[in-house]
Structures are given as C-alpha cells and as structure tokens.
Copies of this chain bind each other. A is one copy, B any other.
C-alpha cells in the first residue's frame, strides 16, 4: 500500500481545473522565446529536446489518466505511446533516450496539436465531477501537474545546456538589470541533536519517496546561513583546489582529470576574468551570488577544503521545515541565482540553488512505491545518486517543500546545484 496518498483532497474540482490550465500554460510560455530551431536538440544524452519534453508531459496525462479513465478517449497517434514514454518499462517499449533528437517527425506543430488534444480531453474529464473514479483522477492529475513542473525545470536546464554548447552563446531571455550587492558574511546557525522525525506525513501532495515519516537520531550540528558564493568558490580555485588530490574522492579525482575540470560547468576564464554562460548569455561571474552548476564531487571537495562537510538530508530537513517556502524561483523570470539578502537565520533555503547533501538517495525505512507503473517514477533510481534539497531559481514556485527529495548522480553538473556547508556542533 502506498502511504495515505499524498492527495489533492482539499482541492475542489474547480481549483484542479484551474491548476491544470495554469501549469499547462506555463509550459507553453517557456517556449515563447524560442526560435523554431531551438526545439529539437540533444547536446548530451541527459538532455532532452524541448519538443520531446512538451510531448512527454502530455503523454503522461494520456497514458496514466485519459486512456484508463476517460471512456472513448482516442489516443492522438498510435506510436506516441512508444515515442514519448521516458522510462516506464511496465508501460511498454520506448524510443532510445540518446536518440530523442532524431525525431524530425512528429513536427513541433504536430506536438502542439497533441497538447491541445490532451488538454481538451482533460478539461472534459476534470469537469466530470461525478465520475466514479474522480478522486483517483484528481490524485493522478496532481501527480501529472507536479511531473510537468519538474519538466519545466528540466526544459530550462536543458535549454541552458544547448545554448551554452553553441559557440555563438545565444540568449534565451534578456537579463533584467540587477542591483549588485555584496553577500552577507557567512554565519552559522546551530540545531540541537536528538531523536527527530523526518519525511512526509500527509497533508498536501508529496511524492512517494518522501515518506513514510520516520525517526532519525541526530547529533547537534550547525548549518551555514547561506550557500557558498562564487567569490568563496573562486578562493578554492585560486588555492589550487582542483589540483589537491587529498580533497577529492577517488572516482571524483579520475573525472576531474579525464574531463579537465577547472571550474564549475559553464565557466570560462577570459582576459577580463571569469564569465559564465547564463540563460541571458555570457555574463561576468558575480562574486556575491551562490555558486551553481557544481557536481556532488566538487561540493564535497569544496567542503573538505573549507574544513566543513555537507549536511545530511535529515539535518537539512529539520532546519528547513521552520522556514517559509518562499524564495527566488522560476516565476521571477531571472533563471539565475541571485545574491543572498541580509537577514536573520537561514537565507535561500528554498530557491536559487539546489543544495547537495551527503546523503545517498535511498528508500526511507518502511518505504513503499506507488502501485502500478507509477511505482517506477522514483523507486528504481534509489542507487548511486545523492539527495539535493530546496529547489532552485528554475523550480516553479509552489513545487518544493521541506520534505522534497531531488536526486542526481555525483558527477552531474547541468542542474542548478550549489553548496550549503554544515559542521558538527
């Protein structure tokens, strides 16, 4: 049995319809700045084309809601079940991931038609409040909308990778003028140890991997009041951090040397200092802003160099759940982390940059995946990855919470990932 799911109980049908429209429209707004030439590129196997993203999120509604629950629903195209399945083995075959950009057809125009087809059918279904399975439909719709929000973030990270790979360094959106400001000094906040409970325990939507709530023993610890800044990371670089073997895990050292890492992803050293690629093109690295696009390996090496460590995910969650879930999210339209503000307590817990933890991504005690194919959503990836917390400047507002567990492989750098330091109290 999946944990008392995680549902949209409180949501009225009306609000669900509104949420559906809102999230779906948001995805399309993210496409507005794009040229036709920007929709179908895959600059590494981890990156998916925009065209594929916007088809796949529609496939999700078609496959998990419309086909099983909407009587008489006609799938838009018989081969789309195969083409736009990401990785659900129990649903059927899927197009090879590294070949997603080989799909010249369906065209982008076809895929917008596909979206419209799915939207129309979903509108009908969500209006059918007397449907005997309405509660299930509502829950699955909420999963689908959260899923689409994740892909909104992925679209932006993937667009960034594509634009950054292009030697012309094109601009996705013009940068807004920003007031430059120094970052507040790094400070520490202490948390008492003891037996704590973490994990999601009902009340609002959560993924299966966030539960069940369970007890963990913590020793007292401290967290840095803000993430590590570019300026601080530049000191690590200047101190030869990338050359000091004793700072790095064994497999990290191999990759640092094989890939020639000398700085975070997207950074370039020029005669005028460091610049980095942003969704607004090449811009100078702002020493006050949080460092971003670092791998777990770099986060761990930086922490070792600083004489600190990364937080455990339980430490992070205990600290974060007292904070309001607001911050600098995708909705600002900046698509780039900005410097921390002065303030009491922890800054930038949510938004700006995902924070690597030292916790391997593993099932919580008593974890049960969702029933059926949606059980593949999270559970089968619980190996060889690390947990990140808190969301980023490209995470949709309202998407994350204190129990939210993101996860990536230790060498991954193309997400908006940064570093918050911890230490034993």
**Taking beta carbons and an 8 Å cutoff, which residues of A are in contact with B?**
35-41, 43, 51, 79, 82-83, 87, 89-90, 95, 99, 101-108, 162-163, 165-168, 170, 195, 214-217, 219, 245-246, 248-253, 358-360, 362-363, 365-366, 375-376, 380-384, 410, 424
**A162 B104 Cβ-Cβ under 8 A:** yes
Q: How far is the CA of A186 from the CA of B323 in the complex (A)?
A: 49
Q: Which of B43, B101, B215 contacts A41 (CB 8 A)?
A: B101
**B107 A251 Cβ-Cβ under 8 A:** no
Q: Which of B103, B252, B362 contacts A360 (CB 8 A)?
A: B362
Which chain B residues border A83 with CB–CB below 8 Å?
167
Q: How far is the CA of A102 from the CA of B99 in the complex (A)?
A: 13
26 A–B contacts from the bound complex (CB under 8 Å): A35-B104, A36-B36, A37-B51, A38-B104, A83-B167, A89-B245, A90-B246, A99-B165, A102-B166, A104-B166, A104-B170, A106-B168, A195-B195, A246-B376, A248-B380, A249-B380, A250-B381, A250-B383, A251-B384, A252-B383, A358-B362, A358-B363, A360-B360, A365-B424, A366-B424, A384-B410
Residue among A165, A167, A363 with the most chain B CB within 10 A? A167
**B217 A215 Cβ-Cβ under 8 A:** yes
Which chain B residues border A99 with CB–CB below 8 Å?
43, 165
Q: How far is the CA of A226 from the CA of B358 in the complex (A)?
A: 33
Which chain B residues border A217 with CB–CB below 8 Å?
195, 215-217
Q: Which of B108, B165, B251, B380 contacts A102 (CB 8 A)?
A: B165
Q: Which of B38, B82, B103, B249 contacts A382 (CB 8 A)?
A: B249
Which chain B residues border A163 with CB–CB below 8 Å?
104
Q: How far is the CA of A163 from the CA of B105 in the complex (A)?
A: 9
**B381 A104 Cβ-Cβ under 8 A:** no
Q: How far is the CA of A102 from the CA of B38 in the complex (A)?
A: 10
**A40 B37 Cβ-Cβ under 8 A:** yes
The verdict on A383 contacting B249 (CB below 8 Å), with A104-B163, A162-B104, A365-B219 known, is yes
Residue among A38, A219, A246 with the most chain B CB within 10 A? A246
Which chain B residues border A107 with CB–CB below 8 Å?
35-37
Q: How far is the CA of A360 from the CA of B41 in the complex (A)?
A: 36
A106: nearest chain-B partner, CB-CB: B168
**B89 A246 Cβ-Cβ under 8 A:** yes
**A381 B249 Cβ-Cβ under 8 A:** yes
Which chain B residues border A383 with CB–CB below 8 Å?
249-252, 410
The verdict on A105 contacting B168 (CB below 8 Å), with A219-B365, A360-B360, A366-B424 known, is yes
Q: How far is the CA of A101 from the CA of B79 in the complex (A)?
A: 25
Distance (whole angstroms) from the CB of A379 to the closest CB of chain B: 8
Residue among A104, A105, A217, A363 with the most chain B CB within 10 A? A104
Q: Identify 18 new A-B residue pairs, CB closer than 8 A, beyond the known A37-B51, A102-B162, A104-B166.
A: A36-B36, A37-B40, A38-B104, A41-B102, A41-B104, A83-B167, A90-B245, A90-B246, A102-B166, A103-B166, A104-B162, A105-B170, A214-B219, A252-B383, A359-B362, A360-B362, A366-B424, A383-B410
**B95 A36 Cβ-Cβ under 8 A:** no
Q: Which of B35, B89, B245 contacts A105 (CB 8 A)?
A: B35
Q: How far is the CA of A251 from the CA of B384 in the complex (A)?
A: 9
**B248 A102 Cβ-Cβ under 8 A:** no
Q: How far is the CA of A165 from the CA of B103 in the complex (A)?
A: 8
6 closest cross-chain pairs (CB), A and B: A360-B360, A89-B245, A250-B380, A37-B107, A217-B217, A36-B36
Residue among A99, A103, A163, A424 with the most chain B CB within 10 A? A103
Q: How far is the CA of A184 from the CA of B250 in the complex (A)?
A: 43
The verdict on A250 contacting B219 (CB below 8 Å), with A36-B36, A104-B38, A105-B35 known, is no
